[in-house]
């Protein structure tokens, strides 16, 4: 039995279940349960919060996970990526109010930036020799400039509609991300074999989707 973590609710949840389904792995639908198992494959699903998944992988509480690359970059740079999955594509970007004149990343010097991705922002700014004041919040980040909490934000941009609705403009794309299959450093040899079977199926599914 291999244990896989997928997002409990949110944008990745549906597409993650869909790819397992396309791989011929049927999961008993138990949205309210935090655990489910497959009827036709040696697999157990744990529905978890995105941000918690890197630690679960590290601890070996789950063997594999479907997770956004952006979350691994923020919280799990040490964790192995077995496959890129081609869905949930997004960017992690810096944005400022539309009215602000923006020249370069140097403009962030000394500014207050609201974000749920502190490590990603800090590394990006550091590479550019910029020091800013980070304000960590867990959601609804785009509201921060409007309520005077920050001068700028860093968050996920997908369609861009959240930025647009909050009168913000994207000025720096720090990274591009998609869903990936990540692997625990503690995975056993036996489960590695099961993982190989899943990878084989995933590759055919992705090829068929092209
Ligand atoms: C996510 C993300 C952005 C938005 C990007 O927020 O944090 O705010 O989606 O998508 P878009 O470019 O298509 O608008 P989510 O709606 O998941 O809520 P949260 O930030 O409060 O968790
Ligand atoms: Mg948001």
According to DSSP, residue 142 is labeled G
Question: What Rg do the C-alpha atoms of the chain give, in angstroms?
Answer: 19
The domains found in the chain, sorted by start residue, are 2-88+178-209 (3.40.190.10), 90-177 (3.40.190.10)
Per-residue model confidence (pLDDT) at position 31: 63
Q: Whose CA is nearest to atom 19 of ligand 1?
A: 139
Q: Which residues contact residue 173 at a Cβ distance below 8 angstroms, ignoring those fewer than 6 apart?
A: 91, 92, 93, 157
d(CA 68, CA 50): 8
State whether residue 64 is helix, strand or coil.
strand
Alpha-carbon dihedral angle through residues 32, 10, 48, 5, given to the nearest 10 degrees: 110
Dump the DSSP string for 20-59: HHHTT--B---TTSSEEEBSSSSEEEEEE-GGGHHHHHHH
Cβ(125)–Cβ(132) below 8 Å: yes
Q: Whose CA is nearest to atom 14 of ligand 1?
A: 162
CA of 171 to the centre of ligand 2 (A): 17
Q: Which residues contact residue 94 at a Cβ distance below 8 angstroms, ignoring those fewer than 6 apart?
A: 105, 108, 113, 121, 124, 152, 153, 154, 170, 171, 172, 174
Summarize the confidence of residues 136-157 as an average pLDDT: 97
Lowest-confidence region among 30-44, 49-63, 93-107, 134-148: 30-44
CA of 39 to the centre of ligand 1 (A): 34
Q: Whose CA is nearest to atom 22 of ligand 1?
A: 139
ipTM for the predicted complex:
0.96
Per-residue model confidence (pLDDT) at position 33: 82
pTM for this one?
A: 0.93
**79-122 pLDDT, tens digit each:** 999 999 999 999 999 999 999 999 999 999 999 999 999 999 99
CA of 146 to the centre of ligand 1 (A): 16
Q: Which of these, 124, 126, 100, lies nearest to 172 by C-alpha position?
A: 124
């Amino acid at each position: 039995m291999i244990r896989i973590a997928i997002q409990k609710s949110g944008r990745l949840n549906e597409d993650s279940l869909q790819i397992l389904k396309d791989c011929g792995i049927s999961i008993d639908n138990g949205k309210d349960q935090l655990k489910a198992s497959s009827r036709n494959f040696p697999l157990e699903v744990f529905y978890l919060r995105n941000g918690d998944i890197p630690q679960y992988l590290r601890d070996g509480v789950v063997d594999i996970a479907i997770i956004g690359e952006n979350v691994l970059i923020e919280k799990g740079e040490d964790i192995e990526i077995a496959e890129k999955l081609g869905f949930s594509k997004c960017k992690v970007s810096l944005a400022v109010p539309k009215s602000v004149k923006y020249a370069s990343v140097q403009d962030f010097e000394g500014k207050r930036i609201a974000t749920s991705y502190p490590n990603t922002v800090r590394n990006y700014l550091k590479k550019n020799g910029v020091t800013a004041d980070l304000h960590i919040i867990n959601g609804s980040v785009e509201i921060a400039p409007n309520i005077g909490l920050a001068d700028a934000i860093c968050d996920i941009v997908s369609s861009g509609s959240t930025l647009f609705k909050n009168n913000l403009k994207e000025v720096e794309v720090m990274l591009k991300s998609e869903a990936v299959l990540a692997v625990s450093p503690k995975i056993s040899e036996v489960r590695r074999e099961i993982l190989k079977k899943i990878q084989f199926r995933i590759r055919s599914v992705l090829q068929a989707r092209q």
